[in-house]
Chains A and B, each alone.
Chain A
């Protein structure tokens, strides 16, 4: 296969994955939230309502594309793309298996964070350009949130990088292969040192994807729909597709960093070669488990206030993340070598 063709195939399959994920995740979200609220969720279109999202997609595609009269036309048009393109690019570095990944970047982790950090600019512009004060409030909150949570999110990934010795996502997965005492998988999450870091990562990634305890930028009950209030048809579709896709990417990142990526413990490496679909299937299952956990939190907790979030980000998460980096460094580079041989991590 020529390199150009390979690139085209990769891009098309990422778009296909993104759209399939979007359609499936919207259905899953409605069902998960529905059952958490002790109701059924969509039931009428198809068995158990599985075709409901397809109907919604057709509706989105055929709806009139409105532009408010007071909108800043150019930015109003541009904003959904600034939101969508980075979340599309965020798939590029994810390792679905040893070989199934779009790119093999040495700086894969940094790449994912870097492209995702562009999303809030689109949200801010979407809120400002629609010429609606609720939209602007939503956008401003989103920007303020990003400034507060970007740092702890990046810092919470650092201890993992220190233990794995690489920022290549594939390399991070490889570092988690094998078991301790042939029972406990060597995933980073089974290392007690990583637990506080994982907690910080979960909180920061919930903020990253605008999930409910931290969804101040949308806040249906106070801001209508925040930055998305004036968008209709496929522009709205792009913004929401990007949101679901970011949820998937953050969950996939959590799986890669802490839960061994596509690895299954206790089975020999040759199995992955014998059954090529094993690793991607495991990866997708773990990722979807992570998504459902995020939605469990979403369906359970009320929204926090913006000042509470700022307090949490600046005064708690950042110092905690810094302490965890120092602690991981000290334990991994000083204490573990001292006991080397006697105690193996």
Chain B
């Protein structure tokens, strides 16, 4: 009993994520594609939750569903002049396919070559307090560098859209 429920949940969520991803790629309507993307993000959050990573799941919902999906939908709808424009032709782009395959291969290679894939799960997932302590002691410098990179991106975006003053 203790093992079946998480396993069933995992397969359901994994199916939802994969199905959403495939639907996102195959739908011709860009708004529908965004909604499928949202579904993939939520399913991923569900998988995190099933693994006991509560904080990660919530951040996934908050950042990806709450911010990224809203921004994407907003931009898509803002740039559509008519609703019919949401439906786009579906060109077969072999170049993109090759790039995606190359990228996947690269990621797989990197994972197998440089990372030690964990074989088992820890008995308990670390709580928010442990996570924060770890983040602000062991990983302090990478964390700050990440925030610096984001700040640079933010300022760059503001400069980019500067408009007439520039």
Contacts and interface: CB of A to CB of B under 8 A. Distances in A.
Interface string A58-88: 0000000000001010110010000000000
Given A105-B54, A106-B54, A107-B54, A118 B61 contact: yes
A196 B50 CA distance: 38
B94 to A, nearest CB: 30
Nearest to B127: A106
B127 A143 contact: no
* B contact patch SS: helix
A114 B73 contact: no
A111 B73 contact: no
Given A107-B128, A167-B128, A147 B74 contact: yes
B21 interface: no
A139 B35 CA distance: 15
Given A107-B55, A131-B83, A121 B128 contact: no
Contacts, number: 74
Contacts of A106: 54, 127-128
A114 B61 contact: yes
B66 interface: yes
B65 to A, nearest CB: 5
Interface residues of A, number: 30
Contacts of B78: 140
A124 B74 contact: yes
Interface string B24-44: 000000011001001000000
Interface string B71-85: 101100110000100
Given A75-B31, A105-B54, A114-B58, A121 B69 contact: yes
B146 interface: no
B14 interface: no
Given A75-B32, A78-B35, 20 more contacts: A72-B31, A74-B32, A75-B35, A105-B54, A107-B55, A110-B55, A110-B58, A111-B58, A113-B62, A114-B66, A117-B61, A117-B62, A117-B65, A117-B70, A121-B69, A121-B70, A124-B77, A128-B83, A147-B70, A147-B71
10 contacts: A78-B35, A107-B58, A107-B128, A110-B58, A114-B59, A118-B61, A121-B65, A124-B73, A147-B70, A147-B74
